[in-house]
Amino acid sequence: MIKKIACIGAGYVGGPTMSVIAQKNPHIQVTVVDMNQARIAAWNDPDLANLPIYEPGLTDVVAEARGRNLFFSTEVDQAIHEADMIFISVNTPTKTYGKGKGQAADLKYIELCARQIAAVASTDKIVVEKSTLPVRTAQALKSILDNTGSGVNFHILSNPEFLAEGTAISDLHHPDRVLIGGEDDRAIQALVDIYASWVPEDRILTTNLWSSELSKLVANAFLAQRVSSINSISELCEATGANVDEVARAVGKDSRIGSKFLKASVGFGGSCFQKDILNLVYIARSYNLHEVADYWEQVILLNDHQKTRFAERIIRTMYNTVNGKHIAFLGWAFKKDTNDSRESAAIYVADHLLEEEAQIVVYDPKVPAEQIYRDLDALGTRSPEDNRRLLQVVESPSLALQDAHAVAVLTEWDEFRTYDWALVKQQMKRPAFVFDGRKLLNRKDLEVLGFQYYAIGE
């Protein structure tokens, strides 16, 4: 029976996941630790509006459990020492150096966690991989733990997370499935019991370690592949007069295909789809499975093409020059209802337009200005000074839209639909262009108002 859980990593996964585990298991003490002091301070902020992550429903869960059996701390060693079960939920970004650069997952944070657990543990521990990892990582983890530990027993489980940002709490409360991979039946059962507090048992799948690790990569690859598939068709729709929403609806009605994840867009973003597919591609290549690797790589190539195509469409439509033109960006987050902008399509579309010396003014309801500049600076395309000269971030939509030559919708925030578009039209320069990368607005309404409206896949 597990009494104390530690989770290393208080990010988009560790924070919400552990909050729900604590909410549903009041008898278990859950401590989420992170080396990032500011992040932990934000998780402990008495004002719940200051939590480091914006997720609908999160504040209620934290309000219920924090201080009761949910704790956030920077005392990593102490939490490891006390816990019976330790989740590793640290970031696993794409490697930026050495072998596998640009494709393989960088496992340095995972390895650091394993070494720290081994160094501190003085009692048996169940170590749970919550981070998304290459297949067979558990083997490396076990080897580090067993070789650097002090003789205590470690059981490794794989328990990948399937929540999507923006719907994390409802995904955690009502998961399609919970996946637990492992070798030791008692360790597996200990984790099953935790989830069984609220998840129906037929939704808790148990597999061997390698199936569990690989299934996570495959699930993300399949989801992203659907987006790239429909995005590839969006270009064909533009060339032929078909409408991609109509095609998606007709195709998705087939119950064998299903209607979800067929929304054409400016391209998928987020911290995981690209990273996980690149990782899958790298793994396939490392086993000399080149056709398999090429097949999945195409999902990424098409996604890059979609972002470029959108930027080029803006330029072409605006008489082949955006130099000095004011383009209002509505949205910067990689999807609505999150403050996360990692790998957001907006970053790449902006970068392309800035190369053409456009003047971009961004409004996003949740992503702060510092983050937007960090995203752009990280590309290294131009100096930070030039990024700030060419791109401005504002706190209200009207400041972005005033005197704009064009509006580009990059995130599908609901509030963008509710704007008084007649008023927006009056504030903008003529002809007033709208480039809808999310197919969010209504073509008829905007055309009646006199906008030149372009949407993906129409």
Task: Using CB under 6 A, list all residues that contact ligand UGA.
Answer: 132, 161-165, 220, 223, 227, 261-263, 265, 268-270, 272-273, 334-335
* Residue 48 beta carbon to ligand NAD: minimum distance, rounded to whole angstroms: 19
* Residue 300 beta carbon to ligand UGA: minimum distance, rounded to whole angstroms: 13
Q: Which does 14 bind (CB under 5 to 8 A by kind): ligand NAD, ligand UGA, none?
A: ligand NAD
* Residue 89 beta carbon to ligand NAD: minimum distance, rounded to whole angstroms: 5
Nearer to ligand UGA, 99 or 260 (CB): 260
Q: What does DSSP say about strands 178-182 and 154-158: parallel, antiparallel, or unpaired?
A: antiparallel
Q: Decide: is 18 part of the binding site for ligand NAD (CB under 6 A).
A: no
Judged by CB under 6 A, which stretch of 161-169, 324-332, 353-361, 448-456 contacts ligand NAD? Answer: 161-169
* Residue 173 beta carbon to ligand NAD: minimum distance, rounded to whole angstroms: 15
C-alpha 125 chain-centroid distance:
30
Judged by CB under 6 A, the residue of 55, 106, 165, 375 near ligand NAD is: 165
Q: Which does 91 bind (CB under 5 to 8 A by kind): ligand NAD, ligand UGA, none?
A: ligand NAD
Q: Is 272 a catalytic residue?
A: yes
Q: Is 161 a catalytic residue?
A: yes
Counting beta carbons within 10 angstroms of the beta carbon of residue 406, is it exposed (0 to 12), middle (13 to 18) or buried (19 or more)?
buried
C-alpha 61 chain-centroid distance:
21
State the Cα–Cα distance between residues 157 and 150, nearest whole angstrom.
Answer: 20
Amino acid at 446: L
Hunting for tokens 């098409």 — which residue is that? 302
Q: Which does 90 bind (CB under 5 to 8 A by kind): ligand NAD, ligand UGA, none?
A: ligand NAD
* Residue 164 beta carbon to ligand UGA: minimum distance, rounded to whole angstroms: 3
Q: Is 216 a catalytic residue?
A: yes
State the Cα–Cα distance between residues 445 and 433, nearest whole angstrom.
Answer: 14
Find residue 454's DSSP bridge partners. 435
Nearest Cα to Cα of residue 210 among 136, 289, 297, 298: 136
Catalytic residue among 237, 238, 272, 307: 272
Report the chain's terminal Cα–Cα distance, integer Å: 57
* Cβ–Cβ < 8 Å for 431, 447: no
C-alpha 249 chain-centroid distance:
25
Which residues of the shown chain bind ligand NAD in the complex (CB under 6 A)?
Answer: 8-14, 34-36, 39, 76, 89-92, 109, 112-113, 131-132, 161, 163, 165, 271-272
